[in-house]
Amino acid sequence: MIKIDLITGFLGSGKTTFIKEYAGYLIDIGEKVCIIENDYGAVNVDMVLLHDLLGDNCNLEMIVGGDGIEAHRRRFRTKLISMAMSGYTRVLIEPSGIYDVDEFFDVLYDEPLDKWYEIGSIIGIVDASNYQELSDTSRYLLMSEISWAGKVLLSRALEGHTDETVKEALAFLNSTMETFGCNSRFAAGDVIAKPFSKISDKEFEGIRGSGYRHATYTKLPVGDDKFTSLFYFDVAIGEDELKEKLTALFTDSKAGHIIRIKGSVRTSDSEQVEVNATDKELSLKPAVCSRDILIIIGEGLDKAYINDIWRDYCSIVSL
């Protein structure tokens, strides 16, 4: 049977960054991997950012939604059926940062998928730099994303503070799960706090075999308009001006609460950068992507205001 892993976590937690390292490890040990970008958005920037993994032993697939949960679930099921005979040994699912993990189980326990796929591990990613600043709604969503995880990985953890970071994260996560009536609890051995690029093969093997836990909690309604994703196409802007605009957006109260900005941007005729930004960190790395797309994710965003900021630097502003 094909093992299937779910890499889950709240918006901007670092799922794509982890998948780059994890998929590389799996390919090195001989696995034939397919990564499914399973998102509700109309455009999937993470698929662009993972493009350099493509090769004989790694493929990328995408599912998009936008017309309801049931339609999205049918597409997910259809995609897995079409892939079943493709020779993959491991499938990695990266959902959106707002995802009902029950969908994962509901689809995989359904015939005929239960004969072809076996759940491997659920891996939860938590941004160690900002979880304490989340709103109550965001804390609930974080809990719902990671409560099933066999392993929790802390992204953006400060090097040299591993024990302290893990202790503080455990206290927060377990308290949050208790607050929302979730039965799951994590222990120190369930958490890894180090840069993903420095995870050892032995640690990756433990992550690969970590499995998942059975979580129960009372589901709370979260409005569809609570979180917004804005998309900007063919973005071209000088690197210095790009840094200024990105930094300013995170502190601009008129824009709303921006959680993450990611994508790829043309900074000159011959240069392109990969953007990965939160209010704590701004990363611009050289990139080679098929198209320049910038996505801004947040709560209560003022689309018209943000569109005006980017209008002169892209071919299409968010609709």
pTM summary value: 0.82
Residue linked to tokens 């326990």: 109
Per-residue pLDDT, 290: 65
* Residue ranges in the chain modelled with pLDDT below 50: 40-43
Per-residue pLDDT, 250: 93
Q: What is the pLDDT of residues 164-223, one digit of tens each?
A: 889 999 999 999 999 999 999 999 999 999 899 999 999 999 999 999 999 999 888 765
Reported as type and span, the H/E element at residue 62 is strand 58-63
How far lies 224's CA from each of 28, 69, 300, in Å? 40, 11, 11
Inside any domain, residue 26:
yes
- Please indicate, yes or no, whether residues 30 and 153 belong to a single structural domain of this protein: yes
Q: How far apart are CA 224 and CA 219, in angstroms?
A: 15
- Please indicate, yes or no, whether residues 108 and 148 belong to a single structural domain of this protein: yes
- Please indicate, yes or no, whether residues 123 and 26 belong to a single structural domain of this protein: yes
- Please indicate, yes or no, whether residues 274 and 188 belong to a single structural domain of this protein: no
Q: What is the pLDDT of residues 137-167, one digit of tens each?
A: 889 989 998 999 999 999 887 666 678 889 9
- Please indicate, yes or no, whether residues 14 and 77 belong to a single structural domain of this protein: yes
Inside any domain, residue 40:
yes
What contacts 108, CB < 8 A, 6 or more positions away? 4, 80, 114, 117, 119
- Please indicate, yes or no, whether residues 144 and 174 belong to a single structural domain of this protein: yes
Domain range holding 241? Answer: 227-313
| Residue 51 · residue 39 · CB < 8 Å | no
